[in-house]
Amino acid sequence: MTVLVTGAGGQIGRAALRSLGDRGVGLGRADLDVTDADAVMAAVAAHRPALILHAAAWTDVDGAESDREGATRANVDAVRHVARAARAHGARLVTLSTDFVFDGRKREPYVESDPTGPLSLYGETKLRGEEAALEEHPEGTWVVRTAWVYDEAGTNFPRLIMRLAETRDVLRVVTDQVGSPTYAGHLAPLLVELPEQVPPGIRHIAGAGAATRREWAEAVLAAAGRDVAVEGATSDEFPTPARRPAYSALASEHPDTPVLPDWRSGVEACMAGFIP
Ligand SMILES: NC(=O)c1ccc[n+]([C@@H]2O[C@H](COP(=O)([O-])OP(=O)(O)OC[C@H]3O[C@@H](n4cnc5c(N)ncnc54)[C@H](OP(=O)(O)O)[C@@H]3O)[C@@H](O)[C@H]2O)c1
């Protein structure tokens, strides 16, 4: 069975292709611009995948605030193109969404049926992307909401912390954002198996448990054997264009949803293969 992976150069795309081996066909941005409807249809026609893992997206949360059109093209229109092509060619679709579809006012993990209320344009476009995929291909779409994704390479929080630790003795990291750090190496293999395991629809899959950003940073430094102090800070000290939910840990209300290892095991697994 061929699995077509869009966004092949991104964190989840790369991790998925590592686990797929010969079954995976990866298309990076240079191979396929997912905002081009005709190109998407042609790529799916050419590769005839049984499953599409749609991992391409606009993931620059702050950048989305100043480019609504660009973020909408990538996170709403492109998902529709991919879902339409999947349905036309009889492929199943697994597409990614985010904890940022929630407003962060809850104080226990968000489950699939919780009301959404994105605070940012990124979150809003991802939510509309979910709706587009489920509308275009309801019988064959699995929307996986995940959170705080990181991998050995790429632009992510653990790599930022490791970079800052090169030059500082003390780091200040916020304690007023709580989420579910998710190691791409743990998540990606589950994504491609999901359609065999559960009915179509929305599923929450993220590193088990919840952490503040400070706890996450401390776990990264400990796993890397770095003796750097981490002090607590508040988000007000680091203003950003996009608002982020104060609390966005994820859990599934469906007992058949696969569960990832605890978020701390993800940090340890990632840091064991960390690429400086
Ligand atoms: N990262 C997180 O914390 C997080 C959390 C929750 C959900 N998610 C979701 O998980 C999915 C994958 O995230 P990720 O962490 O793997 O992101 P990533 O590392 O930023 O990868 C996204 C990939 O999509 C590519 N891309 C962007 N626009 C494209 C276009 N028009 N055509 C083709 N490719 C395009 C990017 O290419 P360029 O590098 O050239 O732009 C990049 O390689 C996304 O749907 C994201 O919303 C991520």
DSSP characters for 242-268? S---SB--B--SSTTS--PPBHHHHHH
Centre of ligand 1 to C-alpha 166, Å, is 27
Per-residue confidence (pLDDT) for residue 73, from 0 to 100: 98
Q: How confident is the model at residue 139 (pLDDT cuts 50, 70, 90)?
A: very high
Q: Are residues 194 and 230 in the same domain?
A: no
| 256, part of any domain | no
Atom of ligand 1 nearest to the CA of 151: 15
Q: Report the CATH number at residue 105.
A: 3.40.50.720
Percent of the chain residues topping a pLDDT of 90: 96
Is 122 among the catalytic positions?
A: yes
Tens of pLDDT along 211-265? Answer: 999 999 999 999 999 999 999 999 999 999 999 999 999 999 999 999 999 999 9
Tens of pLDDT along 25-41? Answer: 999 999 999 999 999 99
Per-residue confidence (pLDDT) for residue 36, from 0 to 100: 98
Q: Are residues 175 and 186 in the same domain?
A: no
Q: What is the average pLDDT across 13-20?
A: 97
Per-residue confidence (pLDDT) for residue 99, from 0 to 100: 98
Q: How confident is the model at residue 276 (pLDDT cuts 50, 70, 90)?
A: confident
* Residue 14 clears pLDDT 90, i.e. is over it: yes
* Residue 13 clears pLDDT 80, i.e. is over it: yes
Q: Are residues 216 and 240 in the same domain?
A: yes
The Cα–Cα gap between 93 and 51 comes to 6
Active-site residue (options: 122, 150, 183, 247): 122
Tokens of 147: 């959170």
CB atoms within 10 A of CB 37: 15
Per-residue confidence (pLDDT) for residue 275, from 0 to 100: 74
Per-residue confidence (pLDDT) for residue 155, from 0 to 100: 85
The Cα–Cα gap between 154 and 164 comes to 16
The Cα–Cα gap between 123 and 120 comes to 5
| 133, part of any domain | yes
How many independent structural domains does the chain possess?
Answer: 2
Q: Are residues 29 and 43 in the same domain?
A: yes
- Most informative mutation of 29, 144, 155 for ligand 1 (most atoms within 8 A of CB): 29
Instruction: Please state the three-class secondary structure of 176-238 as a single string.
Output: CCEECCEEHHHHHHHHHHHHHHCCCEEEECCCECCEEHHHHHHHHHHHCCCCCEEEEECHHHC
Q: Are residues 73 and 121 in the same domain?
A: yes
Tens of pLDDT along 143-186? Answer: 999 999 999 988 899 999 999 999 999 999 999 999 999 999 99
Per the CB < 8 A criterion, the answer to whether 35 and 74 are in contact is yes
Q: What is the DSSP letter of 109?
A: -
* Residue 191 clears pLDDT 80, i.e. is over it: yes
Per-residue confidence (pLDDT) for residue 245, from 0 to 100: 97
Tens of pLDDT along 49-90? Answer: 999 999 999 999 999 999 999 999 999 999 999 999 999 999
Q: How far does Cα 199 stand from its chain's mean position?
A: 20
| 174, part of any domain | yes
Q: Are residues 73 and 187 in the same domain?
A: yes
Contact 154 CB / ligand 1 (< 6 Å): yes
* Residue 274 clears pLDDT 90, i.e. is over it: no
Write the CA distances from 125 to 20, 38, 58, 140, integer angstroms.
Answer: 29, 21, 9, 21
The Cα–Cα gap between 223 and 267 comes to 7
Domain holding 56, by residue range, is: 3-149+182-204
- Most informative mutation of 38, 59, 76 for ligand 1 (most atoms within 8 A of CB): 59
Tokens of 267: 């940090």
Atom of ligand 1 nearest to the CA of 60: 20
Centre of ligand 1 to C-alpha 38, Å, is 21
